[in-house]
Structure 1
């Protein structure tokens, strides 16, 4: 398929040539642009010059720990991060999601599933009707175009794409109960221990960045057995 110049760019980081070839071929046939790397150093150098829409990252790399790469991407880049790994243990999936990955695909995989998951994530990135990239609430400004929170003193605190996904969900539905099931359906991913643990970590980190008292949060309230309510007054621009 002919690639469109503004088609989403997918970056592939995997030290196995066959895996890179399979992924690149499937993605390009689906209309995406791709760039592939075998080493983390080459991948990170390329990020200084271009901004992929999705990064596919293997955890077993020859020159750097894959989880470290995932964490750096989550904090420093606006791209979604999807781990593709042969590590199938629940603890590995949970750790990857806790460090900021948006999804976790286990090898061996069906290339069509990878394409479908990427499309689903990019659809969730599409702007919400009547919502902008900036939300103001209770002395805070959330810049979703730059992935930073700004307080009244002008001090900026970065948040990951995965944390921003949860924050945006709260800010788009203020003062309404959001159940775990609703979060799973909106944000994607299979329900279960790894999803619940990832949500717990992301919400905890958001509360910390918003200077919330963990024992008595004022903005993100837990309704035990039901879900969460965001109690701020939100204005979008």
Structure 2
């Protein structure tokens, strides 16, 4: 089994070194980068399993970097930010982060989060490249959703995981807490309203007659209309 490779991207050299040394001391292969260009250079030379990415950096900030890191081969990304507001956490997850921690964070908690995001795909059976439901087609590799002949819409990581959660549990009423646990993992620190924001954006991408139904006071249910004879 190969040692997971982690890239720590932060403009604070002291904090970057502290995180890097702690993770390396716990069996991970760690490299450091101070900004977007040095991160790009590291990524051009090696493949990384996860990136610990600071939100507030001079020049290109963490959200801008996150937006351009796309594709199925992208490393897992854990955002770090001194701004611990709910809105910042929601935006980070919406743009595609796999997890989010507010600074200052406990290094042991960060290590646990890193291990958790690395475990998420371990042991999962191979998924079909295309998943069809009703008039929609979901590209499982590119994470793009298409309705009929309309142009495909890219999904964020949170939108993709929520849609898969609904597809795997049709007609079941799922509470917000269940959606957080099933789609984000029990280690995620997502709040209820973050789920509402992701679902609202997913509904817009599904378009007319989207199958996500609100069950007042309970949660959401995914119900496809019966096909016409």
Corresponding position of 1:102: 98
Q: Over the residues paired in the alignment, what is the CA RMSD in angstroms?
A: 3.0
What is the SS of the residue equivalent to 1:125?
coil
Aligned mate of 1:188, from 159, 164, 185: 185
Aligned mate of 2:211, from 219, 222, 225: 219
Q: Deviations over 1:51-103 (max 9, x none)?
A: 53322111221221222223333688743332112223333333333433332
Q: Name structure 1 gaps, 5 residues minimum.
A: none
Aligned mate of 1:21, from 9, 17, 22: 17
Q: Deviations over 1:7-58 (max 9, x none)?
A: 4332221011222222223333333333321011222454466553322111
Distance 1:69 1:175, change over 3 A: same
**Structure 1 length as normaliser, TM-score?**
0.78
Aligned mate of 2:193, from 197, 203, 209: 197
**Structure 2 length as normaliser, TM-score?**
0.80
Question: Once the 2 structures are TM-superposed, how far is the Cα of residue 190 of structure 1 from its aligned partner?
Answer: 7.5
Following superposition of structure 1 onto structure 2, how do residues 109-128 of structure 1 map, counting pairs within 5 Å? 109-126=105-122, 128=124
Question: In structure 1, what is the Cα distance between the partners aligned to 2:23 and 2:72?
Answer: 25
Aligned mate of 1:89, from 71, 80, 85: 85
Q: Deviations over 1:107-136 (max 9, x none)?
A: 222211111112222333335458545422
Question: In 2, are the aligned partners of 1:8 and 1:53 still within 8 Å (CA)?
Answer: yes
Give aligned pairs, total: 224
Q: Which has the higher contact order (CA 8 A, sep 6+)?
A: 1
Worse-matched range after superposition: 219-228 or 131-140 = 131-140
